[in-house]
Amino acid sequence: MDAVETAFAKINLALHVRARESDGYHAIETLFAFAEDGDRLSLTAEPGLSVDGPFATALAGGDNLVTRAAEGFARLCGRPLEGGFHLEKNLPVAAGIGGGSADAAAALRLLCRRHGIDPADRRVQELAASLGADVPACLVSRPMRGEGRGDRLVPVQGLRSGQPLLLVNPMRPLATGPVFAHWDGIDRGPLDEGDPIAAARAGRNDLEIPAIAILPVIGEILAFLSARPGILLARMSGSGATCFALFEGTEERDAAAEAVRADHGDWWLLRTRLR
């Protein structure tokens, strides 16, 4: 049995905020896509959660969605779980690319495999939604259109697996709550149906403006990426601060990555591809 899962980095090709609901949540329309790379989560014989990797220290002493996912799964199964997890934390935290949501989803996939439960089981889906709005999409980790809080999902066709992708983060965390709080409340219209790249390019991320107001370097990253040759789409993912760029080819992506390294060595980057 494979006891290791990748917690694939999530990107929002577009994110339209349509309304602020009375319960404080926001109604959104988004296009989820996923990178081939991310954190790595494995089952262990020892109970609890151990963490290493480049961003391990950012999780020290905090609540972790992997543990909450495991506790929820134990209640779902009606018996205590054996063993624990080891997390290789490769992605920055509070970065708009799934992070804890992707880790929790990876934990659910591992536990479903161990116990012979289909991740599409309604109980697992409900548990995923209870852990966070992005967890149901991360559980699937395939292109999806999300509505409601982002947890009403419809599969999307038309994205090219293997499309060269570059992720860039200024190495400064950005909490989701303040970004949504700075949204101006204006509904700028729906997200197009049909071809996802065309819909994304015609669309927007309504959280970019409030995120840039809090962390202006995001605007600098977007301008830098948008000026690269071979660019198809450059945008902030989720509530930031990570930005992504889709490129026509690997050479163009790699050239952009080298330009980032040369001019902004303090920014984090990941050369990857769409899953």
Report the C-alpha gap between 262 and 254 in whole angstroms: 12
Kindly name the residue from 10, 37, 39, 89 that is annotated as catalytic. Answer: 10
- Render pLDDT for 82-113 as a digit per residue (tens, 0 to 9): 899 999 999 999 999 998 999 999 999 999 99
Question: What distances in angstroms separate CA 47 from CA 23, 87, 99, one per listed residue?
Answer: 37, 13, 22
State what percent of residues in the chain have pLDDT above 70: 98
Active-site hit among 37, 39, 103, 134? 134
**Average pLDDT rounded to a whole number, residues 228-245:** 98
Cα→Cα distances 57→43, 68, 101, Å: 20, 19, 18
Residue indicated by tokens 């760029």? 245
Instruction: Provide the token pair at 138.
Output: 């991360």
Residue range 158-187, pLDDT digits in tens: 999 999 999 999 999 899 999 999 999 999
Asked if the model's pLDDT at residue 24 lies above 80, the reply is no
Task: Output the 3-class SS for the chain.
Answer: CCCEEEEEEEEEEEEEEEEECCCCCEEEEEEEEEEEEEEEEEEECCCEEEEECCCHHHHCCCCCHHHHHHHHHHHHHCCCCCCEEEEECCCCCCCCCCCHHHHHHHHHHHHHHHHCCCCCCHHHHHHHHHHCCCHHHHHHCCCEEEEECCCEEEECCCCCCCCEEEEEECCCCCCHHHHHHCCCCCCCCCCCCCCHHHHHHHCCECCHHHHHHHCCHHHHHHHHHHCCCCEEEEEECCCCCCEEEEECCHHHHHHHHHHHHHHCCCCEEEEEEEC
- Whether residue 134 lies in the annotated active site: yes
Instruction: Reply yes or no on whether 10 is catalytic.
Output: yes
Whether pLDDT at 262 is above 90:
yes
Is residue 174 within 8 Å of residue 95, measured between CB atoms? yes
Query: Which amino acid is present at 240?
Result: G
Per-residue confidence at 25, pLDDT binned at 50, 70, 90? confident
- Is the pLDDT at 23 greater than 90? The verdict is no
Q: How far is CA 43 from the centre of its chain?
A: 22
Report whether pLDDT(1) > 60. no
- Rounded to an integer, the average pLDDT of 122-148 is 97
Domains defined along the chain, listed by start: 4-155 (3.30.230.10), 164-273 (3.30.70.890)
Residues 6+ apart with CB under 8 A from 3: 42, 43, 110, 114
- Yes or no: say if 169 and 268 are a contact pair by the CB < 8 Å rule: yes
- Give the global pTM: 0.95
